[in-house]
A and B are shown apart, each in its own frame.
Chain A
């Protein structure tokens, strides 16, 4: 997997002093020693942060222009910072400051945010099987920090399906890295926004598609996923006229349906071949 580390966790040492062998799934029972558990948590947390580093580069220009646009949109400095801190959803923040500049009513801005962020429900559905055993004190912050980037990185970690009981620490590491990075560059964008003429015209928004392409590639490993991606792409171009970016959710639905269909057809074909 591109950019995702495959390094092994520090061998946890069980109470009788035997080190678990490398590559062997670490069971919860093997972590009876508190220090070994702590070491594994820290390892997951730091690996999550490290695997997110490339995506921080991708988010950086995006956050900078958010700050710059917010500074010129008529939004107060405090509100622009509060939006990053409490909403923490890049594309909807972008759209919101654009709507503020166009003096759109608050209700429309909130509704647009709802629709633009609907895709996050698909993300939480995907993570659900991995997080459902966690207490709410974990689920709440992990939900608050759920972004495209953290989702994409974390889902690869979870799909490795080893028995590490602390995979959620990986997601926490990725989440915090994304959050701090976003706050920092948004703030700098706000400070610089008034001083850099025409920050929007620089095209820094190219960072988003470029980052997302890097995030898509590792998922595309089987024919049904290829079908899914091609269909979602075609649908996204056919649904451009839908308001409020609804096209994203509709196109994703089309892609998912076609992927499922392709998977079923492939399964039926295999069955026929075997007979």
Chain B
């Protein structure tokens, strides 16, 4: 490992751990305002959606809104599987299967 690599990994580790630990470290001193506390439940679906939607609609950085987009098909299949089946493993497995079926067949 070169010195530059060590600096890079050290820096990445410091910022990542810093972000994850900052609030935990001060947990005893922090009191969240009631409106902030009630906003917490929106965080997971909001963040995950903001990551997922662009990854599906612009898989390679460009808009790809058509049935020939395997990412879109996989997403729709897992969305349907997730809503109907309510089983996480099935949701992921069917989405992956749809993706590779699409790539092999089309």
* Total A-B Cβ pairs within 8 A: 279
Question: A121 is contacted by which of B23, B41, B83 (Cβ under 8 Å)?
Answer: B23
A83 CB within 8 Å of chain B: yes
Contact A255 B9 (CB under 8 A): no
Contact B49 A128 (CB under 8 A): no
A54-B89, A216-B52, A236-B50 as given contacts; A109 in contact with B21, CB under 8 Å: no
Contact A121 B22 (CB under 8 A): yes
Using a CB-CB cutoff of 8 Å, which residues 43-98 of chain B contact chain A? 43-59, 70-71, 74-75, 78-79, 82-83, 85-89, 91-93, 95-96
Contact A216 B43 (CB under 8 A): no
Contact B78 A76 (CB under 8 A): no
| A-chain residues with CB within 8 Å of residue B54 when the two chains form the complex | 236-237, 240, 247
Nearest CB in chain A to that of B85: its residue: A2
Q: Name the distance in Å between B78's Cβ and chain A's nearest Cβ.
A: 5
**A interface secondary structure, majority:** helix
| A-chain residues with CB within 8 Å of residue B99 when the two chains form the complex | 203, 206, 210
Contact B50 A235 (CB under 8 A): yes
Nearest CB in chain B to that of A61: its residue: B96
| A-chain residues with CB within 8 Å of residue B83 when the two chains form the complex | 217
| B-chain residues with CB within 8 Å of residue A208 when the two chains form the complex | 51-52, 55
Nearest CB in chain A to that of B25: its residue: A139
Q: What separation, in Å, do the CA atoms of A155 and B47 have in the docked complex?
A: 14
Contact B43 A213 (CB under 8 A): no
**B interface secondary structure, majority:** helix
| A-chain residues with CB within 8 Å of residue B75 when the two chains form the complex | 209-210, 213
Question: B11 is contacted by which of A106, A123, A220, A263 (Cβ under 8 Å)?
Answer: A106
Contact B12 A83 (CB under 8 A): yes
Nearest CB in chain A to that of B61: its residue: A240
| B-chain residues with CB within 8 Å of residue A253 when the two chains form the complex | 46
Contact B47 A92 (CB under 8 A): no
Q: Name the distance in Å between B74's Cβ and chain A's nearest Cβ.
A: 5
Give the segment of A16-24, A33-41, A142-150, A186-194 that binds chain B: A142-150
Contact A252 B47 (CB under 8 A): yes
Nearest CB in chain B to that of A127: its residue: B24
Q: What separation, in Å, do the CA atoms of A53 and B88 have in the docked complex?
A: 9
Besides A139-B21, A143-B21, A210-B96, 17 other A-B contacts (C-beta < 8 A): A3-B88, A106-B7, A114-B15, A114-B19, A121-B19, A124-B24, A143-B17, A143-B24, A143-B25, A159-B41, A208-B52, A209-B52, A213-B79, A228-B46, A232-B50, A255-B46, A260-B39
Using a CB-CB cutoff of 8 Å, which residues 203-242 of chain A contact chain B? 203, 205-220, 224-225, 228-229, 231-233, 235-237, 240
A29 CB within 8 Å of chain B: no
